[in-house]
Amino acid sequence: MKKILLEAGSLPELVIQPTNYVKVVEVLNEHKKGLTCHEISLMTGVLERRVREATKRLKNERKLKEKLCRCGRTPIYYFYK
């Protein structure tokens, strides 16, 4: 087999894609009053299941707080102030 030689600057730069967790954190930082899982999903393009996983992780790290909407069913997530 022949060796393939590449010049040092010939490879394209790697673009690191943000994880679902990072996307959720960024959106929640922008909206201080809080968002539901569905709203976060629509804004980030992340599946709702992945949003729930990220919010669960944030709650376990004690960074995220939740309050219920006026109907008493849907949680609204926001960061501690």
pLDDT at 81: 67
Q: Please give the helix or strand (H or E) that residue 22 lies within, else none.
A: helix 20-30
Averages of pLDDT over runs of 10 residues in the chain (81 residues) are: 78 85 95 94 96 96 93 92 67
CA distance 41 to 30: 14
Residue type, 59: K
CA distance 39 to 28: 10
Q: What would you measure as the largest C-alpha separation in the chain, in angstroms?
A: 69
What is the distance in angstroms between the CA of the first residue and the CA of the last residue of the chain?
Answer: 62
